[in-house]
């Protein structure tokens, strides 16, 4: 892992069986980590608004869809969606 989790607040398991991933929201570090079931870091997401502001530092919860990969983020200001390539 590039840097340790600071203050994780939410976790989601996406997928089935061995193809599952664990997504962890860590607002204190402004990122969502995607981990394998064994704990290997697969990806790290940092999401900015169209204005360039860090979105995940204000996140209160999130949801993930697989096809296509999207992350829905809630903040006190509203609901956001990030489409990942």
- Whole-model pTM: value is 0.87
What are the sequence ranges of the domains in the chain? 10-83
pLDDT in tens, 26-53: 999 999 999 999 999 999 999 888 888 8
pLDDT over 90 percentage in the chain: 67
Q: Counting beta carbons within 10 angstroms of the beta carbon of residue 66, is it exposed (0 to 12), middle (13 to 18) or buried (19 or more)? A: exposed
C-alpha pair distances (Å), 83 with each of 4, 9, 54 = 25, 22, 16
Out of 1.25.40, 2.40.50, 3.40.50, 2.40.10, the CATH code matching 10-83 is 2.40.10
């Amino acid at each position: 892992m590039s840097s340790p989790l600071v203050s994780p607040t939410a976790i989601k398991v996406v997928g089935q069986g061995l193809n599952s991933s664990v997504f962890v929201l860590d607002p204190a570090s402004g990122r969502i980590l995607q981990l394998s079931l064994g704990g290997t870091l697969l990806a790290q997401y940092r999401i900015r608004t169209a204005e360039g502001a860090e979105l995940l530092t204000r996140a209160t919860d999130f949801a993930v869809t697989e096809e296509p990969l999207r992350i829905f983020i809630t903040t006190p200001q509203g609901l956001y969606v990030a489409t990942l390539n």
